[in-house]
Structure 1
Amino acid sequence: MRLGPILAALLLGGCAAPPSGGGGIVSTNPCVDSVLVRILPPARIAAISRYSQDPSATSIPLDVARRYRATAGTAEEVIALHPDLVIASTYTPPATQAAYARAGLKTLLLGIPDSIAESQAQVTQIADAVGAPAGGARINADIDHAVARWSRKDGPSQSALLYISGDLATGGSTLLNEMMTRVGFRNAAASYGLTHTGTVSAETIVTRPPAVVIASERVGRGTALRHRLLPNTPQAVFPRVLINCGGSTIPPALERLAAIRASVS
């Protein structure tokens, strides 16, 4: 991800009017972080998630993430910041949600989008909630452009098995599955019967091998095992930073998947 466009987006985000209260926005969701840093000036963001400062979990450049205060998402940390709005995951523990409510904090809970359309709707929801609809529209316009550019008209043909981490593969009914399909891949895990994220048996992989294996790491136990199981199958790297979230990650993710697809044509 290039830093130039991100800094430009931050400057443009400064045109948004700040919410009342002056406490800024606290995000405990790394996927929300990746939207906020592109549509709001730093002064509007009271804190981001600590996951955005973790190389294995972030979806934004680390040098950008480290400019912000980060929290572990505990109720005590968040409440102490007196934010105008807390944006968190629907998986936030009920006790934490209750603590936010008792403290009188306004909260927005977001789930995990399973499609490009759902991801774009979520970007709009975040942008509207923080008073920066134009920023959300810019991100969604970039997504629309990437979808138009990288979608293949001939439909999916080559099969691919995409591992998001270790031996966890992405199945059907996921955002990654849609992106794979758009660039011309058939998701092998979906054809094996995997509906979301899970493991695939070695027997299944060997019996019905994919045309390419895509993984988030170059080395590791999982990579070594797959090389032994499928010595003649190409292996491609799909950076972890492109796996964790949708939103503004979708354009570079589609571009990388399209490049892998072209390499196995």
Structure 2
Amino acid sequence: MKRIMAILMVSVLNASAALAAEAPHRVVSMNVCTDQLAMLIAGEGQLYSVSYLAGDRNASVLADQAGGYVVNHGLAEEVFLMQPDLIIAGTFTTRTTVELLRRLGFRVEEFAPANSLDDIREHISRMGTLLGRQEKASALLAEIDDALAKLRAQPPSGKSVATYSANSYTSGSGTLVDALIGISGLENIAARLGLTGTSKLPLELLVLADPDLVVSSEGDYPGPALAEEGYVHPAFKALTAGSTAVNIPSKYTICGAPFTLEVARILQDAAGAAK
């Protein structure tokens, strides 16, 4: 009898392990970055729902593809009714919702923001593993390698660049944008000034630094906004009249994915065209 019970127990454990290893069939993403990674990697019909930001053209590179999925707003009630077998979220996704869904027994996997190319690689590999789509993830990593090889084949321009976003924010050392600037062969003015992370860059310091290129995301707002008042300041206009102004939509820098390298390509092209 004991032997029979032991055999049954082993069979149950093996069955449980097989189910745990099986790729999820109904996935819900609650974060614009996990939305896009999942859209790039998931198999046909595997991804059920993405966040409402996935369809925002200012925040998502894959906004056009987002229309093929059910939209969620990160509410525990709506996600519960979807009955997913896997929920993916960002580490800054609504904490109350994430914890409640976990307490209800749902499997929730979280992704931190990508601050480097290594982070992007790790996130792609992890998403591939979670979705049982390792081959697709490997193909995306190969795309990144090819794009990096082309970017690094160009000699460094030696030019300097400053990023100046809405509300006078810039990207200092330790950010994904700083890593992309390095890949493009330019020098980041914010890092030279000792700024780390996402920091405020006073217009006075920007003007005194006199970068060769100035990157903005002007036009991200559909109408006039106080957040972009720095772009109309006479000092900023004078600076960009003497420097090369480069507009890079913020959707390319919000999340880490293969398309993020488009930023480095734009910067390289702008540096090559600058006098």
Bin for the TM-score computed over the shorter chain: 0.7 to 0.9
Q: CA deviation at 1:143?
A: 0.8
Q: Is the 8 A contact 2:51 2:72 kept in 1?
A: yes
User: 1:91-240 maps to which residues of 2 (within 5 A)?
Assistant: 91-151=92-152, 154-155=155-156, 157-217=158-218, 220-225=228-233, 226-240=236-250
User: What value does the CA root-mean-square deviation take over the aligned residues?
Assistant: 2.1
Q: Which residue of 1 aligns with 2:262?
A: 252
Q: What code does the residue aligned with 1:241 have?
A: K
CA distance in structure 1 between the aligned counterparts of 2:164 and 2:124, rounded to whole angstroms: 25
Q: Is the 8 A contact 1:152 1:184 kept in 2?
A: no
Structure 1 residues 222 and 42, CA, compared in 2 at 3 Å: closer, same or farther?
farther
Tell me which of 47, 54, 57 is aligned to 2:56.
54
CA distance in structure 1 between the aligned counterparts of 2:44 and 2:32, rounded to whole angstroms: 16
CA distance in structure 2 between the aligned counterparts of 1:210 and 1:77, rounded to whole angstroms: 48
Q: CA deviation at 1:119?
A: 0.9
Q: CA deviation at 1:182?
A: 1.1
Gaps of 5+ in 2: 1-20, 221-227
> Could you give the per-residue CA deviations for residues 216-245 of structure 1, whole angstroms, max 9, x where no partner exists?
225853322221455312211112231221
Bigger proportion of residues as helix: 2
Q: CA deviation at 1:91?
A: 1.4
Q: Which residue of 2 aligns with 1:88?
A: 89
Q: Is the 8 A contact 1:146 1:254 kept in 2?
A: no
CA distance in structure 2 between the aligned counterparts of 1:94 and 1:251, rounded to whole angstroms: 30
Aligned length: 246
Gaps of 5+ in 1: 1-16
Structure 1 residues 100 and 148, CA, compared in 2 at 3 Å: closer, same or farther?
same
Q: Is the 8 A contact 2:168 2:203 kept in 1?
A: no
2:23 matches 1:19: yes
Counting aligned pairs with the same residue, the percent is 24
> Could you give the per-residue CA deviations for residues 72-125 of structure 1, whole angstroms, max 9, x where no partner exists?
112122121111111101113432222111211101111012110111111100
> TM-score of the superposition, structure 2-length normalised?
0.82
Question: Stretches of 4+ moved more than 6 A in 1?
Answer: none
> TM-score of the superposition, structure 1-length normalised?
0.85
Q: Which residue of 1 aligns with 2:10?
A: none
